[in-house]
Amino acid sequence: RYEQREDFAVVVQPFFRNTVLPLDRDGKPDLSFFAADCFHFSRKGYAEMAMALWNNMMEPVGEKQTYNNFTYDRSKLKCPTPEKPFLSTVRNSGFRNSVPDSEKTEPSVPYWAVIVAAVAGVLVGSA
C-alpha cells in the first residue's frame, strides 16, 4: 500500500519474533529484566528491547535479526554509517523497484463497493 510513496515507509521490525526468556548464570530466568509482576519489563528489560529495536531499524530488510540475546551490552548498538545514514527501508535495502511508479494506480476496491458494503452492514445490523 505504501510502496510507491517517497515520503513514507512501513517496515516490520522482527527483533522480538524468536526471543527466548533471558537466563542467569544458574540457568534460571533472569528476573532483573522484569518488573515485580514478572510480566512487564523492568528498566533494564525496556532498555534491552529499545536497543534491539534500534538495531533492527539499522539492519537492511531481509537481514534483520529476529531475536534478542539479552546481553544488556550497550556496545552492541549499531550506528548509522556514511554509506547508510538512514533507517533501513525496503527501497534503500535494494528490494523491489528502487524508482517509485509515478503513475496513478486505481484503488483495488471501487469506491461504490465500500458504500454498498457499509449500507448493507447497517441494514443487517439493525435487522
Distances (CA, A) of 124 to 43, 61, 94, 110: 49, 44, 47, 22
> pLDDT per residue over 4-62, tens digit each?
888 888 899 999 899 888 888 899 999 999 999 988 999 999 999 999 999 999 999 99
Between 24 and 107, the more confident residue is 24
Ranges of each domain in the chain: 1-100
> pLDDT per residue over 61-71, tens digit each?
999 999 887 87
